[in-house]
Amino acid sequence: MAVSAALLCLAVLANPLQEQGQRVQPVASSAGMVVSQEALASGVGAAILRRGGNAIDAAVATAFALGVTLPQAGNLGGGGFLLFWHGPQRRAYALNFRERAPRRATAQMFLNGAGDVDRAKATRSLLSTAVPGSVAGLLAAQERFGRLSRQEVLTPAIELAERGFPVYPELAASLRQAAPQLQSDPTAKRLFFRIDSAPVTPGGRGSTGVRFYRVGEILRQPQLGATLRLISHQGAAGFYRGRLAQQLEALMAKGGGLIDRKDLAAYTAPWVEPVRGSFRGLTVLSMPPPSSGGVTLVQLLNLLEPFDLALAGLNSASTIHTMVEAMNLAYRDRNSELGDPDQMTIPVERLTSKAYAESLRPLIRSDRHTPSAQLAGLAPLPSNSTNTTHLSVADRQGSLVALTTTLNFAYGNGIAVPGAGFLLNNEMDDFTAKPGVANAYGLVQGERNAIAPGRRPLSSMAPTLVLNAEGSPWLATGSPGGSRIITTVLQVLLNRILHGLNLASAVLAPRVHSQLWPDQLSLEEGISPDTQRLLEARGHQLLRTAAMGSANSVELLPAGGSLGVADPRRPEGAAVPERP
């Protein structure tokens, strides 16, 4: 059953530019490539490659630049995960810079007097902020593996903040949409909106008006530039200790938050072993817990491996049905079995084993959708129990980086640190505020992801690398999208490996998503009406939805050079080649 798909996989790897007649083509480079959600930031990374930096230098420079040019998701006040294939060493590394709960956090901190979750407190207050990890993580990666100095890597972001950049259409629209949230915080209001003062009248009165930035106007962020300069000169200590730490602590004390200088000084970003799986002779590397991305992705690939999805056809009713039934099984385990491995034992080996997938596969019926309530009643194992951005980088030494960072919601909780120029995350909502109650992404999770001091919340981020059958690096991908990240990455891989699509077509193809609860199948535009009717006949409840994810991806070519694709679902993204 898998023979035809395996042969197709070998053909794909042998000729990455096959199917030249496909409607869209990736950007090609004779050297390295940087793909991110914003064009100026991608250009920063490509320039770093041209200066002699490696994939880590370029990824870190791009990430810091995104903290300036993509304030809705790029960040200093959030966290994330990084996966690195070191070409010269032929070895993979994973870095966990997920945020951590403050040491004074409690399991019931978001419950009101009636025992219900206070959504505003969990998402829009200072209590929603976890200890940021982005600065520590990015600097740790660059210090260990970068070729250039910290100052060289940070200078482009500093210049973008201090000199400013033209507001692009997506940012102008995003700031307008987020205005009620951002303008409720006086500091954020001054950072992201024009404060225009009318001249004083003869009667002695003036007025001050607030207006939106127009497309093409220059957005300058001098406070953020000063913060980046401090980090450039002092490293992580410039963020987690000293003046910035005092400013953050003062804001928390004034506004009812929990983070203090002890929490900041105690933050660490550990190097961890990647989750490793195999699919049709390829090696798949992704993030371990507290990211659920790697475990769930490998489990999905294991479940789907024996099915001949290539024969069934891309986005046919049979293929979508099979994927969705596997998604529901994998998300059931994700929500009940995963958490922070620093504070509990996580059954990673069993969840990612081929044998465990074999035991679950009979639950996938070919003719009928299995209701979520029926699946939820089956114990998966003996119990032990939106805004993000992704970038991918390839360099000419054969190294790959997949890096995903987040503030959780767009602009986090909408609160900026006075005098520091950056927004704070609301990642505490990624914990289980109350077992059995859905979070902002509809995920119904259990006790293993409950709030606890120093714990890192479970994430769906899934920066992923794929190695070919010889163990050489081939592809880097990942996505934002909350709980839809994992299924986005899954479909990009299946489209590329099984369905004969080039990298651009694999990213562009319509996506579907299911996560057990709510019991529904989400579909992007582009799934045919006939297919939708067949899915409904199998018992699926369909939900037509907006674009899912933004899978910015790169691919290394066998003869040298690289390909890149910026997902058009986020229109300001760009794949920028390193030009010799």
Catalytic residues: 388
Provide the CA 207 distance to its chain's centre, in angstroms: 42
Determine if residue 338 is left, alpha or beta; phi over 0 gives left, psi from -120 to 50 gives alpha, anything else beta. Answer: beta
> In which element (H, E) is residue 404 found?
strand 400-406
Give the tokens for residue 205: 């009165």
Instruction: Determine contact, residues 144/273, Cβ cutoff 8 Å.
Output: no
Give the tokens for residue 128: 């929603």
Give the tokens for residue 239: 């963020």
Question: How many whole angstroms separate alpha carbon 141 and alpha carbon 63?
Answer: 12
Q: Is 329 exposed, middle or buried (0-12, 13-18, 19+ CB in 10 A)?
A: buried
What's the longest Cα–Cα distance across the chain? Answer: 85
* Residue 255, φ and ψ in degrees, nearest 5: -105, 10
Alpha carbon of 459 to those of 198, 310, 338, 515, 549: distances in Å? 47, 30, 10, 14, 15
Question: How many whole angstroms separate alpha carbon 182 and alpha carbon 179?
Answer: 5
Q: In one letter, which amino acid is 295?
A: V
Alpha carbon of 169 to those of 38, 140, 175, 207, 571: distances in Å? 11, 34, 10, 28, 9
Termini Cα distance of the chain: 45
CA atoms within 13 A on the CB side of 5: 23
Q: In one letter, which amino acid is 247?
A: Q
The sign of the CA dihedral 235, 59, 566, 7 is: negative
Give the tokens for residue 189: 């209001």
Question: How many whole angstroms separate alpha carbon 128 and alpha carbon 522?
Answer: 28
Q: What is the DSSP string of 287-332?
A: PPTTBSHHHHHHHHHHHHTTS-HHHH-TT-HHHHHHHHHHHHHHHH
Long-range contacts: 46-49, Cβ < 8 Å, 24+? Answer: 46/576, 46/577, 46/578, 46/579, 47/156, 48/148, 48/152, 48/153, 48/156, 49/393, 49/395, 49/396, 49/578
Alpha carbon of 70 to those of 166, 172, 481, 570: distances in Å? 12, 11, 15, 12
Give the tokens for residue 395: 């360099």
* Residue 382, φ and ψ in degrees, nearest 5: -60, 130
Provide the CA 396 distance to its chain's centre, in angstroms: 25
Q: 111: which residues sit within 8 A by CB, 6+ positions away?
A: 117, 118, 433, 434
